[in-house]
Structure 1
Amino acid sequence: MSGTLTRVNRLLVNVEGVTARLVRRFGPRVAGWCADTPDLIARLSSQWGLSLGEPLPDGASSIAMRCCLPDGTPAVLKVSPDRALMAEQVDMLGWFAASGRVPAVLAVDREASAMVLEEIVPGTPAGDMPAAPLPEQWSNLLAALHGVAPPPLPTRLLRGRCEEAFTRVGRRLSEPEISARIDATAWDRAIQRCERLLDTEETTVLLHGDLHLGNVLDGGADRGLMAIDPKACVGDPCFDAVDYVVAGAGLEGIETRCEHVAVACRLDGERLHSWSQVIAPFAAIAHLGNGGEEPVIDELLELAR
């Protein structure tokens, strides 16, 4: 165990950065969990016989590390301070398993809020893949994901997903670099647009719910695009294409990408454009908080007006 712990500590060299990132999501109380993470990962590695690799780029709510199972199978160890969220993700990956477009869950420790997932190979994020074939590839991904029937138990609705996101991200409007560019009026406009879209839903499917380009990986020629980290909910199929559309800012442009994606994915172009107006201020806040490029931020804010 001591050798494993030494390796974990060496791999988690940026503990302060991990703590700062998770504190933004969970608050100061998570700092103690972060400090105990090397011990937790060492214990899980021993429990499952894992050989640890390097840390992966982390999301907002977890720590992920490459690893290998005892038989050499490449995998990913994922731990989170949010036990309920981790349990939900295990269940959601099970819901989408029949699509063949999510990683298989190989091991779970619900008490430790941890799981081992199949590693997606080659695993290139969608944002780093060739742009030309991506709309059709995205269409195939959505067809597979949205073809899965919702589970028999009640699942969260897109309305709840949106309400949570507006509340959580809306807290950042007080940050100086954000309040200088986005005011309460612009935020309220996005909320009203979102409510109109939710009130006029006609077709609903089981959504991934967080299908930004960092959560879509290249699974190779045999598997196509693969989705990770679902926040599944039931709602408008356009929602699973909107992050890809908004990511066109500063490239071919959001308007042009929206047209291409709507055609490729056989989605209502007007609704997809309206969803892009809802999501644009979220993307602008992310860019403002990360020192994003001004032309990209300007395009996002113009769309949100």
Structure 2
Amino acid sequence: MAFEPPQRLLRALGETQRDGGAEWLDKLPGLARQAVDLRELTVERVQAPGGRSGLVVLVRQADGTPAVLKLAPPRARPESECAALARWDGFGAVRLLDADPGHGVLLLERLHPEMSVRSLPEAKALLEAAGTLRRLWVEPSSGHSFETVAGRTGRQAEAMRAGAGTDPDVAPLVDAALAAREELLADPPEERLLHGTFRQSKVLAGERMPWLAVGPDPVVGECAFDLARLVRDRVEDLIASPSGASITRRRVKRLAESLDLDQERLRGWTLFRAVESGVRARRVGRPQDAELLLEFAGWL
């Protein structure tokens, strides 16, 4: 079978060519065949549209049990994803069945990729997603090697400063986002293992539990950082609404209260993450996404 990567993955790799995406794509057919043969898997099909962080293949194990084979490039930090899934051990997240993280190979339990929390009405989707996220906030294992929120956002802050220098239109928002980050990191609350890239589409229907998270880019830090990405879910609908700004502020309040988090800390991290994503979208040639994100950030 040809392991043809979907267009969504190709576009994501194209945005980060300097991270070895093209080299990994050249090796992908061989890596996939090796992973399938070694585990005696039967391939059903490549999942499309799939994700932006790796090739997802629907397979069956030797005993006929359905599973998912994920092959991820080094830029997606498969070792970190593997460690987080092992730490959660199926509680709130997809269960890890087997892995060779050094080659970017993860064998996962099969969920229902066609049914995410995003398919629910908005209020219900936010409630279910927040409940799933709460289960993931556990203490990291002793001696863990996960990236920290301070470290990840430090790298992002450098790129934001560079972007603002060449695009004065976004400079005020970048300044506000960077100031919020400095204030938030000055007095951080208790740290937990976080999903890192959580949103509604990352929560899929399962058999053993109604909803389970997939595709983490784990990081250790305060919980408000993790929840911040959920605040802007369905941002295109928020921007299209004449009351989008007030809906956003109510969403911050409601999500913070539902998970017992400080509302101002959630607002601050939501601002930082939205501006960072908007600046990055401009940098890689996605102007429409950038416009939506930066307008959203302006409401905060």
- Which of 223, 227, 232 aligns to 1:241? It is 227
Aligned pairs, number: 288
Distance 1:227 1:168 in 2: 29
Deviation at 1:32, TM superposition (A): 2.8
Query: What runs of 5+ residues in structure 2 fail to find an aligned partner?
Result: 239-243
- Which of 29, 38, 42 aligns to 2:29? It is 38
Deviation at 1:199, TM superposition (A): 1.2
Q: Does 1:86 align with 2:78?
A: yes
In structure 1, the residue matched to 2:183 is: 196
In structure 1, the residue matched to 2:269 is: 275
Query: CA 1:113/1:135 → structure 2, altered by over 3 Å: closer, same or farther?
Result: closer
> Retained in 2: the 8 A contact 1:56–1:66?
no
Deviation at 1:90, TM superposition (A): 1.0
> Retained in 1: the 8 A contact 2:271–2:297?
no
Distance 2:82 2:180 in 1: 32
One-letter identity of the residue aligned with 1:50: L
Distance 1:298 1:103 in 2: 32
> Retained in 1: the 8 A contact 2:231–2:252?
yes
Deviation at 1:81, TM superposition (A): 2.7
In structure 2, the residue matched to 1:165 is: 156
In structure 1, the residue matched to 2:212 is: 226
In structure 2, the residue matched to 1:3 is: none
Query: What runs of 5+ residues in structure 1 fail to find an aligned partner?
Result: 1-6
1:24-35 to structure 2, matched below 5 A, reads 24-27=15-18, 29-35=20-26
> Retained in 2: the 8 A contact 1:57–1:64?
no
Deviation at 1:28, TM superposition (A): 6.9
Q: Does 1:182 align with 2:174?
A: no
One-letter identity of the residue aligned with 1:79: L
In structure 1, the residue matched to 2:55 is: 63
One-letter identity of the residue aligned with 2:156: A
Deviation at 1:48, TM superposition (A): 1.5
Q: Does 1:216 align with 2:207?
A: no
In structure 1, the residue matched to 2:46 is: 54
Q: Does 1:264 align with 2:258?
A: yes
Which shows bigger deviation, 256-265 or 283-292?
283-292
In structure 1, the residue matched to 2:241 is: none
Q: Does 1:302 align with 2:298?
A: yes
Deviation at 1:295, TM superposition (A): 8.0
Query: CA 1:173/1:270 → structure 2, altered by over 3 Å: closer, same or farther?
Result: closer
Give the TM-score of the pair, scaled to structure 1: 0.80
Query: CA 1:102/1:293 → structure 2, altered by over 3 Å: closer, same or farther?
Result: closer
- 1:27 match: secondary structure: helix
Deviation at 1:66, TM superposition (A): 1.9
Query: CA 1:168/1:20 → structure 2, altered by over 3 Å: closer, same or farther?
Result: farther
Which shows bigger deviation, 289-298 or 261-270?
289-298
One-letter identity of the residue aligned with 1:273: R
Cα-Cα RMSD: 3.1
Query: CA 1:206/1:56 → structure 2, altered by over 3 Å: closer, same or farther?
Result: same
Q: Describe the superposition over 1:41-67 as per-residue Cα deviations: whole angstroms up to 9, x where unpaired.
A: 122222222222123444444222222
Distance 1:248 1:266 in 2: 23
Query: CA 1:181/1:89 → structure 2, altered by over 3 Å: closer, same or farther?
Result: same
Distance 1:28 1:133 in 2: 38
Distance 1:298 1:110 in 2: 36
* Identity fraction in percent: 23
Distance 2:30 2:37 in 1: 11
One-letter identity of the residue aligned with 2:218: A
In structure 2, the residue matched to 1:4 is: none
> Retained in 2: the 8 A contact 1:56–1:65?
no
